[in-house]
Amino acid sequence: MAQILGLVFGASATAHAAPSCPPSIVKLGGGSQTNEVGAKIDTSFSFPSPTPGTDQVTYDLVAGTLTMSQCCGPAETFVQASDAYDVAGVPLGSPVTVVATLVVDSEVRTSCDQALLCGGALVDIQIRHGADSVVVQHVFTPPPQQMGWHDTLVLPVTIVAGTPAEVDFTLGGRQLVGGIGNESDASATITFSGLPPGATMTSCQGFQGARATPAKSVSWGKLKSLYR
- C-alpha span between 75 and 93 (Å, rounded): 44
Q: What is the pLDDT of residue 117?
A: 59
Who has greater pLDDT, 8 or 85?
Answer: 85
Would you say 57 and 43 are in contact if contact means Cβ atoms under 8 Å apart?
yes
Residue 69 to residue 77: CA distance in whole angstroms: 8
Residue 129, amino acid:
H
Q: For 5-14, 133-142, 212-221, which range has the lowest pLDDT when averaged over its residues? A: 5-14
Its pTM stands at 0.81
Which pLDDT value is given to residue 119?
73
Q: What is the DSSP letter of 225?
A: H
Sign of CA dihedral 31, 149, 129, 208: positive
Distance in angstroms (rounded) separating the CA atoms of residues 67 and 58: 5
Half-sphere exposure of 17 (CA within 13 A, CB side): 11
Q: Is the pLDDT assigned to residue 188 strictly greater than 90?
A: yes
For the stretch 92-147, pLDDT in tens is 999 999 999 999 999 988 876 544 556 788 899 999 999 999 999 998 877 667 88
- pLDDT given for residue 1 in this prediction: 43
pLDDT recorded at residue 140: 82
Residue 211 to residues 113, 187, 189, Cα–Cα distance (Å): 45, 19, 13
- Residue 210 clears pLDDT 80, i.e. is over it: no
Q: What whole-number distance in Å separates Cα of residue 163 and Cα of residue 86?
A: 7
Residue-range domain boundaries for the chain: 2-225
